[in-house]
Amino acid sequence: MDNRLNEIRRKISFLRTEMLRFEETIRQQVNRDEDCSDASMQLMAMRVVMLGLISERNRLGGEERLLNVDERLKVDYRAVSRKPLKGALGRRER
């Protein structure tokens, strides 16, 4: 089951990158005043596939809680820094 869950997560990740690529293509086509209906239809089809993958992931118990804006702003993403070792600041001791 974990292998299946990881496989679904990989598919979701890949699909997200493809969707971002198509969204960028659509933006470029709109800015050039071109027809973007083909790319839009493909993006909508990808969204349907994404919903299916997410529901399957949730069914297998891999549901991930989504944070709201306030919770995301409060999350500390900074790397934990260690204190530098004595004498490691670049000075030489004589």
**pLDDT tens digits, one per residue of 74-86:** 877 666 666 666 6
User: How far apart are alpha carbons 53 and 3 in whole angstroms?
Assistant: 14
Please tell me the total count of domains within the chain: 1
Choose among 89, 79, 19, 84: nearest CA to 54: 19
Least confident span in 21-30, 49-58, 63-72: 63-72
Residue 94 domain-assigned?
Answer: no
Least confident span in 34-43, 71-80, 84-93: 84-93
- The secondary structure of residue 64, as a DSSP letter, is -
Interval 23-36: pLDDT, tens: 999 999 999 999 99
Choose among 53, 41, 43, 36: nearest CA to 18: 43
Q: What is the mean pLDDT of the chain?
A: 84
Residue 75 domain-assigned?
Answer: no
pLDDT for the residue numbered 19: 95
User: How far apart are alpha carbons 20 and 17 in whole angstroms?
Assistant: 5
Q: What's the domain range around 46?
A: 2-64
Residue 73 domain-assigned?
Answer: no
- Helices (H) and strands (E) counted in the chain, each on its own, are 3, 0
Residue 70 domain-assigned?
Answer: no
pLDDT at 49 over 90: yes
